[in-house]
Every structure is written in structure tokens, then in C-alpha cells.
Chains A and B, each alone.
Chain A
């Protein structure tokens, strides 16, 4: 995937003018938030589970080599194969080689962000193998030839009208005058459409939410059941997983699962949580005859021992982007690569190099909500600041600090963002103020700051009152 992260500001400007996108973001706003809040309120132990989740992941990362070796040994014991891949190239080739050996013509796919990261679809297409996305959101994006804009709801940027129009455009064998009265009519058409694809595929590729060292299992968590059909029906199952997905035991995984669905869609548990361990056993009436795990590093091992190691705790729940005012205003595509939102702003520079994404860590209001909802307590705003510091130190982008404030100002001029951020913004501006002290005092150039802090040296807010309240008060005083 082409990286357009350096053009974040232009991407964001375009996103703010895109009426369709703004409508979709408006519709989506709050759906995940309210459901998450309700699910969390229903589980009094949630906060303690977050500490446990963080600790499990920290323990695993501190012993990652051992758990990966144990995982691989147990996969092999269960009749599976592990393909260790340092780079995206190696991983693509490993997948292609398995498909080729199988003489595969079509490959069904469950939703997998690592597959997007690696560009598996293009690679297979280029070699004459047809990938078929089966997750509903990924399916329509494949029809539209677009990347996902959200890590758990890939078609976050689309409206119901887009779905209808694309289905009419692509499913030309169906009656033109058919009616999509309900969302479920769209769902039903995709279901019928994909059923034959599931049954015909030679290879099924899924991602993995977790790998379990104790048993050599890969775990997928879905609502649709497409991932399960993908890994159950074809003769060969390939699980694509990055190295930080491993956890020691079923119990460790279970504790993280209590956090995952609640943080993601606000469900207590997703519909299907499935543990796959090796290939079909003697006497089994179904299941794949071959089971492969393509285990991908692609930059992650370099994060270990750095200030970004904690990012490897991420369980890809998307709570940080669902609660991010910047994401909520511009959507996922503006971030310019596979992983959007706060987690993307930290992860993308780590994986593709800060020189290609320099501006991304500035795509933030530093309101701190992402960290406060992250189920494994990743200090996302702190890490974004680390990137800015690194960027500054390395002089990769001359005037990095000014750039950052320019971007902040870009958002600050759109007060709607700040209404979303409410009280948390106070803390955020405090941080920004502190940061800007070391940043050549460029703060004074913020158009917004001038409006509400007349006569003050530094616009670091005092405790009490939300940003909007103070902003409004400042406006009134003028």
C-alpha cells in the first residue's frame, strides 16, 4: 500500500470537505462508544482486567523468544507448519508458495490487518491467484478497490447508499429493480454471493487475534462466521500472524478476550471465538488437511527494547480510534497507511520508518482519551510525543515542531473536534503547553490561542472547566 501519511494535512482537509465521508462518520459516531461504555459498566472488574491484560502482555514480551519457540514446537506437534518471516517480502512469498504448491486458483480470506500490511491480495493477483475477501466490510472494499479505513470495521467510511450502489454495479446478474429495504437485505445478498466462494476455494487465509504457546493454536474472533468458513472448508488453512500475537496459555488468552470484544464493538463476547490447532485429525469429518502459520516480524522485533515496546501489547480492538476526536473528524484514510487513529500514529512510524510518516504523531489533540480506554493501557499520547522528540532530534523534518503546531492549529480551528474532546482536552493542552516550552515558543502563533488567552504568556489552561467552556468564555469576553 502506498504511504500517504506525510500528506496527512492535505488528506485531512479533503476528508473534512467530503460530504459522504462526513455523513458516514456522523452516522457512526457514538455507536461503538455507547456500546463499549455499557459493556464496561456491566463488568465491575473491567479496570482490574486492564491491569491484568497489560501484565500478561508485558510478561510475554519480556520472554517473547521463548514463547515463540514453544508456540512453533506445539504447532508442529499438532501437524502444522510454521513459516518464520522477517520481512513482508518473505511473508508474501511464503503465502504464494503454499498456494502454488496446492495449485490454488481461488483463495478465500478472513479479515486480517496483517494481510493489508503485507499486501497479500496484490501479490496473489499478480501471480494469477484470485483472493476473495469474505468479511462483509472487506468484501465491499474489494469491489471498490479501496483499503480499509478502520481496523475492525473496514467500511467505516461508507454509507448504506454506497453499499447499495456498489452491489448494483457489481452484481449485474441480479434483477436491476431489486429492493434493499433493510440493511439485512444487503447482508443477505453478500451471504448468497459468497457462499459458493467459500465452498469452491482451495486455500483459506485468516489473520489471528492471538497465538497460544501452550497449545500451538491460532485464535480468531469474529461476528460473521466468515473467518470460520474460511479456515474450515478449504483443503489448506493459512493463519497470518505477527510475532507479538503470542500469549502463553489459554487462561492468559481468556483474560484478554474478556477485554477485547467489550473494547471493540461493546459486545460481552463476539459471536465466534475459535481456536485452531494443527490439521485435520484421523477420523475428523471436516477441517483443513494442511495448517500453516506464517509468522511475521516486519519491523516488530526492532521495537523491543525501545520506548515503543509497549505498543506491541496492542490487541487491535480499535477503542483508541473510536474515541479519538481526530479520527472521528477525518476518518481512517487520511492517516495514509494501514493502521489509522492513535495506534496507527504510533505503530506506522515504527513499521515503515519515521522518515516516511513524520507528521503522523502530530495528528492528535493530545486529549488522552485513547490511553484512558486502551484495554492494555498503552500510553499512546506519550509515545506520540516520543516520536515527535525523535523526529526533532534527528532533524528528519526541519521545523518539525512548527509543523506539529501547524497541524494542531489546523484541528484547533475546527471547534467541533474539541466539543468531542470535552474535559480531557484540559490535560491535553497542558501537555502541549509543556511540550511547546521546548519548542521555540511557537505557541504564540496559534490563531486559536490568541483568541482566548489574551494577555497571557503561555496558553496552558488552568485546572477546571473544559476547553470549550473556556473557549466560549474567551469568545464572549472579546
Chain B
């Protein structure tokens, strides 16, 4: 068996047999405690500044952010955005309770369809699980209520994210996932797919020059729900 051949060759190289039980237990202990390494200081900030850093980094990576005060304000914000970009008012939307609970009737022209995305969709609305200020990154774990295709297929990807879900570093977002997600199959915290998304798709393959608009979305627009009083920008 190749499995045994490979493991055997590794052990020969390491000049030892299979690890003794106590050493295996030590390694399993490291896996179970998954210690963090150095976390860069750049995201160690008071809440309002952390959220501001997130927004700055999203914009640096060519994404756009619009702050909305509450869920009731989402339909108007989205309708205006779509109209301004000349985009259709019908779009697939993550069948997430939070999105389903939005009072869409307030803008009757909008037609959100709770489903996965198809190749022909021009706009999609995804539910954001977490944001990471360090690099302006969205964390989008798959679930029946958060289909992966909504991150990928539409030309314009819109994501609703609560400001309270913005973390400083990736490690904190992992901890949120570890705490909140139970996978039905493994009993662990990893869903089938976790995407970290930082800005719209691009390619540097033609003469090493970054150009937007490769195979994924050409635009990434984040509706940032200001649900965190501690994270609000200082009153102007």
C-alpha cells in the first residue's frame, strides 16, 4: 500500500518508527488547543477604529462599503445602489433568516429570490458571517442558508455584514466559527467550505499588472449594518 510506503519512507528519513503514544498525545494536544502565534499589532484597536480599519482596507482592495443604521434601511440602500449601477432588481439572496426577515416590501420593485446563484445572475446578496479588519476580509462559511455560489457567480456581489461581527484578526474570526458552528457530519466546527474574500476578483497574469474583473465578481459591495453602539464612528 502506498500509504504505508509513504509513512514508512518518512519515518526512515526521520530515523524513527511510529511515534510513541505519549508523543502522539502531545501532538493531539497541540491540535486540540490550536495555539495562536503572533498577531500583528495593526488590528489591536478600539472598536470604532477597528471598524474604520476594516472599511479602509476593503476600499484599498477596490471594494465599496455603505453603512446602514438598521435592517429596515437595507432595502432602500440596496435599491438605490442597484439603480445607480444600472443593475437588475431581481437577484438571488442567501436564504438566511436574517436576510429573509428584512422588510423587503418597503421597496416593492426589489425581488430577492432565496436560492443559490446561477451563471447568468448579475447581482447576488450574501450573508456575511464575519469581517476581519486586518486586511478588509470577509469570512463566508458555507451552510444551507449561505450558499457558496453567491460569493462567486454574479458580476456584482453584495454582502450584508453586521458591524458587531467585525474582528481584528483572522484568529478571532476562527474562534467565532469554532464557537458558533457545529457541522452536522463531523461534529466539528468546519463547514464544507469557508471563503475569505478580500475585494473583487482580479488577475495579474497579463504583464504582472493587476486588473479587476477576472472570473469572480467584478464588484464587491458591503452593506455594513451599524448594530454595535461601541463601533459607531465618533459623532461628526
Q: How many residues of B contact A (CB 8 A)?
A: 84
- Pair A78/B186 contact, Cβ less than 8 Å: yes
Nearest chain-B residue to A254 (Cβ)? B170
What residues of chain B lie closer than 8 Å to A32, measured between beta carbons? 208
Whether the pair B185, A79 counts as a contact (CB closer than 8 A) is yes
User: Would A199 and B209 count as touching, CB distance under 8 A?
Assistant: no
Q: Which residue of B lies closest to A273 (CB)?
A: B196
CB distance from B73 to the nearest CB of A (A): 28
B82 within 8 A of A: no
Q: B209 touching A228 by the CB < 8 A rule?
A: no
Nearest neighbor of A249 in chain B, beta-carbon distance: B34
Whether B206 lies near A272 (C-beta < 8 A) is no
CB within 8 Å of A: which B156-173 residues: 170-171
The answer to whether B135 and A269 touch across the interface, beta carbons within 8 angstroms, is yes
Q: Which residues A112-162 have CB closer than 8 A to chain B?
A: 134-137, 140, 153-156, 158-160
Q: A62-B14, A78-B183, A257-B170 given. 10 additional CB < 8 A pairs?
A: A31-B204, A137-B203, A160-B206, A196-B119, A215-B188, A215-B189, A255-B38, A268-B61, A268-B134, A302-B13
- Chain B residues within an 8 Å CB radius of A199: 119
**Nearest chain-A residue to B196 (Cβ)?**
A273
B231 at the interface (CB under 8 A from A): no
Interface string of B145-182 (1 = CB under 8 A from A): 00111011100000000000000001100100000000
Interface size, A (range):
35 or more
Q: Which residue of chain B has the shortest Cβ distance to A31 in the bound complex?
A: B208
Neighbour of A232 across the interface among B35, B148, B200, B208, CB < 8 A: B148
Interface flags for B199-214 (1: CB within 8 Å of A; 0: not) read 1111111111111111
Q: Which residues of A contact B119 (CB under 8 A)?
A: 195-196, 198-199
Nearest B residue (CB) for A156: B208
B4 to chain A, nearest CB (A): 9
Say yes or no for A417: interface residue by CB 8 A criterion: no
A64 within 8 A of B: yes
The residues of B that contact A281 with a CB separation of less than 8 Å are 142, 144, 183-185, 191-192
| Cβ–Cβ contact A224 & B209, under 8 A | no
Contact present for B207 and A159 (CB under 8 Å): yes
* Residue in contact with B148 in the complex, picked from A56, A251, A287, CB distance below 8 Å: A287
Give 18 pairs: A residue, B residue, CB < 8 Å, sorted on A. A65-B18, A70-B27, A84-B6, A155-B206, A186-B206, A191-B215, A225-B152, A248-B31, A251-B34, A269-B135, A271-B202, A272-B196, A272-B198, A272-B201, A284-B192, A285-B115, A286-B149, A302-B9
Quote the shortest CB–CB distance from B25 to chain A (angstroms).
Answer: 11
CA–CA, A214 to B30, complex, Å? 10
What's the nearest-Cβ distance from chain A to residue B115, in Å?
7
8 interchain residue pairs of minimum CB distance: A225-B216, A304-B13, A305-B13, A224-B214, A301-B9, A283-B144, A137-B205, A249-B34
Assess whether B208 is in contact with A269, with CB atoms less than 8 Å apart: no
Q: Are B38 and A48 in contact (CB under 8 A)?
A: yes
A217 within 8 Å of B by Cβ? Answer: yes
Q: Shortest beta-carbon distance, B187 to chain A, in Å?
A: 8
Q: How far is the CB of A166 from chain B (nearest CB, A)?
A: 12
Q: How far is the CA of A226 from the CA of B38 in the complex (A)?
A: 31
For residue A193, give the distance in angstroms from its CB to the closest CB of chain B. Answer: 10
Chain B residues with CB under 8 A of A68: 6-7, 10
Tell me the bound Cα distance from A271 to B219 in angstroms. Answer: 12
A58-73 toward B: CB 8 Å interface, digit per residue (1/0)?
0000111111111010
Map CB proximity to B onto A215-227 as digits: 1 under 8 Å, 0 otherwise: 1110000011110
Q: Is the CB of A278 within 8 A of B192?
A: yes
Asked whether, in the complex, the Cβ of A225 is within 8 Å of the Cβ of B215, the reply is yes
CB distance from A95 to the nearest CB of B (A): 14
Q: Kindly report which residue of chain A lies nearest to residue B4, judged by CB atoms.
A: A84
Contacts A77-B186, A250-B174 given; does A63 touch B19 at CB 8 Å:
yes
Q: For residue B63, which residue of chain A has the nearest CB?
A: A271
Give Cα A281–Cα B171 distance, bound, in whole angstroms.
Answer: 25
By beta carbon, the residue of chain B nearest A140 is B205
Query: In the complex, are the beta carbons of B27 and A66 less than 8 A apart?
Result: yes
Answer yes or no: B137 CB below 8 A from chain A CBs. yes
Q: Tell me whether A306 is interfacial, beta carbon within 8 Å.
A: yes
Question: How long is the Cα–Cα vector from A274 to B57 in the complex, in angstroms?
Answer: 19
The main secondary structure of chain B at its interface with chain A is loop
Which residues does A use to contact B, with CB under 8 Å? 24, 27-28, 31-32, 43-45, 48-49, 52, 56, 62-70, 72, 74, 77-79, 84-86, 90, 134-137, 140, 153-156, 158-160, 163, 182-184, 186-188, 191, 194-196, 198-199, 213-217, 223-226, 228-229, 232-233, 243, 248-252, 254-255, 257-258, 265, 267-287, 295, 297, 301-306, 309
* Contact partners of B203 in chain A: CB under 8 A: 136-137, 187, 223-224
Alpha-carbon separation in the docked complex, A214 to B174 (Å)? 13
From B37, B115, B134, residue with most partner A Cβ within 10 Å: B37
Q: Shortest Cβ distance from A312 into chain B, in angstroms?
A: 10
User: Quick check: is B83 within 8 A (CB to CB) of the other chain?
Assistant: no
Complex: chain A residue closest to B141, CB-CB: A275
Cβ–Cβ < 8 Å partners of A134 in chain B: 215
Confirm or deny: B71 has a beta carbon within 8 angstroms of a beta carbon on chain A. Answer: no
Q: For B204, what are the chain A residues with a Cβ–Cβ distance below 8 Å?
A: 31, 153, 223, 265
Whether the pair B211, A84 counts as a contact (CB closer than 8 A) is no
Q: How far is the CB of A236 from chain B (nearest CB, A)?
A: 14
Contact check, A258 vs B40: say whether CB atoms are below 8 A apart: yes
B216 near A187 with CB under 8 A, answer no
Q: Are B213 and A84 in contact (CB under 8 A)?
A: no
Closest to B209 in A: A183
Q: How far is the CA of A49 from the CA of B57 in the complex (A)?
A: 21
CA distance A156 to B208 in the complex (A): 7
Task: Tell me if B13 and A194 are in contact (CB < 8 A).
Answer: no
CB distance from B191 to the nearest CB of A (A): 7
CB–CB B214/A191 < 8 A: yes
**Bound complex: CA A183 to CA B213 (Å):** 11
Distance, CA A467 to CA B231, complexed state (A): 55
Residues of chain B contacted by A214 (CB below 8 angstroms): 31, 34
A302 CA to B12 CA, complexed, in Å: 9
Digit string of B64-93 for contact with A (CB within 8 Å is 1, else 0)? 000000000000000000000000000000
Contact B213 A187 (CB under 8 A): yes
CB pair A28–B216 under 8 Å, yes or no, is no
